[in-house]
């Protein structure tokens, strides 16, 4: 419902249609919960008269705080009929974030505000609780190095959105790493600090070094290196999501 409303105002019937019913008594179970959730996440706009003697149907609009805290870009992108439709929703979210940052530094290129996770048992079903282990394997580290190296060298075949996705997945990997038992955590950290042979230009490299170099590059682009180094040393970043651009994403990872 949140992702549907993120695309714009929706009627009650449209919102109800996106909720699947299971079993012969599905509606009896779903309807009370649907109304409760709808009241919590959206504001209702009354029907209004339009020229021609007709009425415009009442609709629901997502509350700003819900959009900021609960909207998930991953679900939006996966459920969109086309990249164009999800891009339109993400542009609306970007506008909201720019309004929130109105008194702060202007960011030329905002990055998609992916949600972070604490990987707690409350938010993960037992069957997928450890799916993040895929982010700790050698192959993922190697692919990340290839993409980040391309970002440093300015190779055109790697888009900025690809670099952002890698940085986001690395952020999740580090958060998941923190939840592991000491022995598993040590093995994962060693893997991320291991030296690999890069595809070109940088010879033998380590992933943390590439992240730090990109971080410095982005800070210098915005002339905020001192400010962001101070924030990074203090760990002054939102724990649930990232608002801003490349420097904010990379700064969290450097932290």
Residue 29's domain comprises 1-106
Residue bearing the bigger pLDDT, 91 or 52:
91
**How much is the pLDDT for 166?**
92
Question: Both 124 and 213 in a single domain?
Answer: yes
Distances (CA, A) of 252 to 8, 119, 237: 31, 17, 6
Find out whether 245 and 218 touch, Cβ atoms under 8 Å. yes
Same domain, 152 and 221: yes
CB distance 6 to 56 below 8 Å: no
**What is the rounded CA–CA span in Å between residue 83 and residue 103?**
31
For residues 190-214, average pLDDT: 80
220 and 186 within one domain = yes
Higher pLDDT, 95 or 102: 95
Q: Does 39 lie in the same domain as 1?
A: yes
> Which one has a higher pLDDT value, 98 or 17?
17
Same domain for 101 and 112, yes or no, is no
The Cα 220–Cα 225 span in angstroms is 6
Same domain, 132 and 91: no
Q: Are residues 127 and 209 both part of a single domain?
A: yes
Domain boundary among 74, 89, 106: 106
Name the domain boundary from 63, 82, 106: 106
Flag whether the pTM goes above 0.75: yes
What are the b/e assignments for 174-205, b being 16+ CB within 10 Å?
A: bbbbebbeeeeeeebeeebeeebebeeebeeb
d(CA 70, CA 241): 10
43, 131: one domain: no
Residues 139 and 248 occupy one common structural domain: yes
Task: Give yes or no: residues 201 and 137 share one domain.
Answer: yes
Confidence at 125, pLDDT banded by 50, 70, 90:
low
- Co-location of 98 and 128 in the same domain: no
């Amino acid at each position: 419902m949140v992702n549907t409303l993120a695309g714009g105002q929706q009627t009650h019937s449209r919102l109800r249609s996106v909720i699947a019913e299971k079993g012969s008594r599905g509606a009896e179970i779903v309807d009370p919960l649907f109304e409760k959730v709808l009241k919590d996440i959206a504001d209702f706009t009354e029907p209004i008269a339009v020229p021609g003697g007709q009425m415009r149907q009442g609709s629901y609009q997502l509350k700003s705080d819900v959009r900021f805290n609960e909207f998930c870009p991953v679900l939006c992108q996966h459920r969109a009929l086309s990249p164009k439709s999800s891009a339109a929703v993400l542009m609306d979210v970007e506008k909201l974030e720019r309004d929130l940052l109105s008194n702060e530094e202007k960011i030329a290129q905002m990055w998609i505000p992916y949600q972070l996770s604490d990987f707690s048992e409350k938010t993960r079903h037992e069957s997928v609780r450890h799916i993040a282990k895929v982010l700790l394997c050698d192959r993922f580290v190697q692919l990340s190095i290839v993409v980040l190296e391309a970002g440093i060298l300015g190779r055109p075949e790697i888009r900025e959105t690809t670099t952002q996705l890698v940085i986001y997945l690395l952020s999740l990997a580090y958060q998941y790493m923190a939840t592991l038992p000491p022995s598993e955590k040590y093995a994962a950290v060693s893997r991320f600090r291991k030296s690999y042979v890069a595809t070109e230009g940088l010879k033998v490299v380590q992933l943390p070094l590439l992240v730090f170099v990109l971080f410095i590059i982005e800070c210098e682009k915005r002339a905020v290196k001192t400010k962001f180094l101070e924030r990074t040393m203090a760990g002054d970043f939102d724990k649930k999501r990232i608002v801003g651009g490349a420097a904010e994403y990379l700064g969290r990872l450097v932290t």
